[in-house]
């Protein structure tokens, strides 16, 4: 199995959708490694031909292809041999599915749970004939984010809710591939999900091994093979990500932030924060206060981002 990098995007809860479009995404693809994100990725290919490596599958793409890749799912875009070194154009939406569904199903929590579980296991690749509505919704969302007219945040949330429900309604005949990943990927996603739920607690590799019913050595080897980092490194990454969110939105002390994200020892928190973000917690907070829009897109990662 190819090694995968974790690429994290800080998505605001006020606007749980990030649009990546424009000239920057008209570029040469295929030079990056397998990678996975902390949120849903929806991509649209304007032009180009190649193969999407997702989980353990290889799926062709071309102009008009739509991809729906859940968070924590390793993937990579690779052009055909004839198009290597040539520019292709994609546009992407990164979506906090949990937040979108919570808003949409505010009076029906049981539906939220069912749909969220379904979408977390569904990898979809749509061809031209099945992607017209999806493209329209993606374009409307991107335009709303760019123009920022009155009440655009509500409009974006409503459109994104419509978009994810469209994928949820797709039956297996309309889905080119539904995620039936191998055992290694299943273990990795189980560990990642456990960390996201319990990062604030005193947890470690013995707990991850218990969740997978594996020995610590075997669990650690599987996780490193999948993500290129150890489970403990990933735990630190998630904790610092959560700390960044608190620093940007709350006025609590650094000590309280440290304890809230699972670091009872302040010096350990300070060391890990600087290692992962490159700056101190206080510097991060100042950055957030000075320019709240830009700090949202700042990437917290032990790897080179986009």
CATH number at residue 16: 2.60.120.280
Q: Whole-model pTM above 0.75?
A: no
Whole-angstrom Cα Rg for the chain: 19
Residue 174 within any structural domain of the chain: no
> Do 148 and 28 belong to one domain?
yes
Q: Which residues of 96-117 are buried (b: 16+ CB within 10 A; e: fewer)?
A: bbbbbbebbbeeeeeebeebbe
> Do 161 and 188 belong to one domain?
no
Whole domain around residue 17: which residue ranges?
4-169
Tallying the residues shown for the chain, one arrives at 306
Q: Which of 169, 201, 218 is the last residue of a domain?
A: 169
The per-residue pLDDT for range 266-289, each reduced to its tens digit, is: 999 999 998 888 889 998 888 877
* 100 and 161 Cβ atoms separated by less than 8 Å: yes
> Do 43 and 152 belong to one domain?
yes
Total of domains in the chain? 2
> Do 10 and 121 belong to one domain?
yes
pLDDT attached to residue 295: 45
Q: Which of 169, 197, 216 is the last residue of a domain?
A: 169
Structure tokens at 263: 């670091």
> Do 123 and 248 belong to one domain?
no
- Output the CA–CA distances (angstroms, integers) from residue 114 to 95, 98, 226, 297, in the order listed: 18, 11, 27, 30
Cα separation of the two ends of the chain? 22
Q: What is the 3-state secondary structure (H, E, C) of 75-136?
A: EEEEECHHHCCCEEEEEEEEECHHHHHHHHCCCCHHHHHHHHHHHHCCCEEECHHHCHHHHH
Residue 183 in this model has a pLDDT that exceeds 70: no
> Do 117 and 215 belong to one domain?
no
Residue 60 within any structural domain of the chain: yes
Range with the largest mean pLDDT of 208-217, 220-229, 244-253: 208-217
3-state secondary structure of 258: helix
Q: Which of 169, 203, 238 is the last residue of a domain?
A: 169
Residue 175 within any structural domain of the chain: no
Confidence of residue 179 (pLDDT cuts 50, 70, 90): very low
Residue 304 within any structural domain of the chain: no
pLDDT attached to residue 301: 44
Structure tokens at 134: 């999806």
Q: How far apart are CA 179 and CA 37, in angstroms?
A: 16
Q: How far apart are CA 218 and CA 225, in angstroms?
A: 11
The sign one gets for the Cα dihedral 39, 45, 46, 47 is positive
Residue 89 in this model has a pLDDT that exceeds 50: yes
CATH number for the domain spanning 278: value is 1.10.10.60
% of the chain with per-residue pLDDT over 90: 48
Residue 176 in this model has a pLDDT that exceeds 60: no
> Do 156 and 17 belong to one domain?
yes
Residue 87 in this model has a pLDDT that exceeds 80: yes
> Do 92 and 126 belong to one domain?
yes
pLDDT attached to residue 57: 80
> Do 28 and 142 belong to one domain?
yes
> Do 122 and 217 belong to one domain?
no
């Amino acid at each position: 199995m190819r090694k995968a990098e974790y690429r994290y995007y800080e998505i605001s809860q006020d606007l749980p959708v990030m649009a990546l479009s424009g000239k920057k995404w008209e570029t040469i693809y295929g030079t990056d490694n397998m990678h996975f994100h902390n949120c849903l990725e929806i991509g649209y290919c304007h032009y180009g031909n190649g193969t999407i490596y997702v989980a353990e599958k290889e799926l062709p793409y071309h102009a008009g292809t739509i991809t729906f890749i859940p968070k924590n799912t390793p993937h990579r875009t690779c052009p055909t041999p004839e198009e290597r070194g040539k520019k292709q154009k994609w546009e992407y939406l990164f979506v906090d599915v949990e937040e979108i569904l919570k808003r949409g199903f505010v009076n029906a929590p049981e539906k939220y749970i069912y749909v969220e579980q379904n979408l977390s296991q569904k990898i979809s690749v749509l061809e031209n004939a099945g992607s017209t509505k999806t493209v329209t919704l993606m374009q409307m969302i991107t335009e709303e984010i760019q123009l920022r007219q009155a009440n655009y945040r509500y409009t974006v949330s409503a459109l994104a809710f419509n978009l994810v429900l469209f994928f949820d309604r797709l039956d297996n005949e309309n889905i080119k591939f539904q995620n039936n990943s191998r055992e290694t990927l299943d273990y990795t996603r189980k560990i990642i999900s456990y960390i996201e739920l319990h990062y604030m607690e005193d947890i470690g590799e013995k707990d991850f091994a218990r969740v997978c019913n594996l020995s610590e050595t075997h669990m650690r080897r599987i996780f490193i093979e999948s993500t290129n980092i150890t489970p403990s490194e990933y735990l630190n990454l998630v904790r610092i990500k959560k700390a960044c969110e608190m620093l940007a939105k709350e006025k609590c002390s650094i000590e309280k932030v440290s304890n809230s994200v699972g670091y009872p020892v302040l010096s350990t928190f300070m060391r890990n924060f600087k290692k992962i973000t490159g700056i101190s917690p206080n510097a991060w907070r100042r950055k957030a206060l000075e320019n709240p829009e830009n700090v949202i897109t700042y990437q917290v990662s032990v790897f080179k981002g986009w």
